[in-house]
Amino acid sequence: MGQFEIFFLGTGGGRFTTITQKRRTAGIRILGDLLNLHLDPGPGALVYSVGEGLDPQKINAIFVSHCHPDHYTDAEVLIEAMTRGMTRKCGVLVASKSVLRGSDVCESSISKYHQQMPEQVIEAIPNFKFNLGNVTVHVTEARHTDPDAVGFRFETKEFGDLAYTSDTEYFEGIGKYYEGVRLLILCVMRPSEKPWKGHMTTGDALKIVEETRPEHVILTHFGMQMIYYGPSKEAKLIEEKTGVPTVAATDGMRITFGDTIKIQSKSVKSSGGT
């Protein structure tokens, strides 16, 4: 099996980053031999996919972790791309209950019209497990202002696991979902000095890294407060305190996940945690 490629089409999150586009909010693309997955397609997902040469019509899976616009806005248009302009039932849509059916805090974020076109629709609830191509997906718990929010852990047979927390605050037991992961992608909205309920701070990320000891950590989904503080500075702090290689993602950054983990940004090329 070939290695996986992870493209950070956007590294921004939260209302004001979305409004200003200080960082893109386009989500993450994960490519493997049998996988072409767009994870949390917020505003700009379609445009930046095309701009990076990642044909949206080749997507075979769309994952939406919860019902906030910086995670779901472009999901419907990507479903249209995945289903060849809504002419073929194909691909998989994986989304939280709130995204598919609505909840006390939000309406459904993807229309019934669009939900009927993927070949399979999976409601993502914590501790549920399913297979997607040659990857086993474990749905992880998140605690956020959307109570149905979830994260995802991707188990590969040859290269081990990678995981994405989505938006969550720290809670007792969160580490158990990510123990043994080689590559851990943390949505760190704010620095420790500026906490916001339901979201992760640098201090929260530090605790998760200490509990799970992954091979590499990537910080992403930065709010404006985090952007002002400097994500690279916060990543360096985590690395210095834990000894775990930690990188703040940049828009357009690419990771090769295989026998080794290699990180390449458009402005700075590096390998591992340097």
Task: Tell me whether strands 254-257 and 261-264 are parallel, antiparallel or unpaired.
Answer: antiparallel
Tell me the sheet residues that pair with 120.
Answer: 92
Q: Is the confidence at residue 142, as pLDDT, over 60?
A: yes
Sign of CA dihedral 206, 204, 137, 112: negative
Which domain range does residue 73 map to?
A: 4-271
Q: Nearest-CA neighbor of 101 among 112, 90, 89?
A: 112
Tokens encoding 71: 């995670």
Task: pLDDT band for 133, please (50, 70, 90 cuts).
Answer: very high
- Three-state DSSP at 63 gives strand
* Average pLDDT score, the chain: 95
pLDDT digits (tens, 9 = 90+) for 159-172: 999 999 999 999 99
Tokens encoding 37: 């997955």
pLDDT digits (tens, 9 = 90+) for 62-72: 999 999 999 99
Measured between alpha carbons, how far is 215 from 257 in angstroms, rounded to an integer?
Answer: 11
Task: Tell me whether strands 200-201 and 129-132 are parallel, antiparallel or unpaired.
Answer: unpaired
Q: Nearest-CA neighbor of 164 among 3, 4, 6, 2?
A: 6
pLDDT digits (tens, 9 = 90+) for 241-270: 999 999 999 999 999 999 999 999 875 333
Residue-level pLDDT at 268 = 37
The answer to whether 231 and 201 are in contact (CB under 8 A) is no
| Residue whose token pair is 């390449």 | 264
Measured between alpha carbons, how far is 230 from 236 in angstroms, rounded to an integer?
Answer: 10
Tokens encoding 82: 């995945």
Domain holding 52: CATH number?
Answer: 3.60.15.10
Domain count, the chain: 1
Q: Is the confidence at residue 181, as pLDDT, over 80?
A: yes
Q: What phi, psi does 100 have (nearest 5°)? A: -85, -40
Q: Is the pTM of this model over 0.85?
A: yes
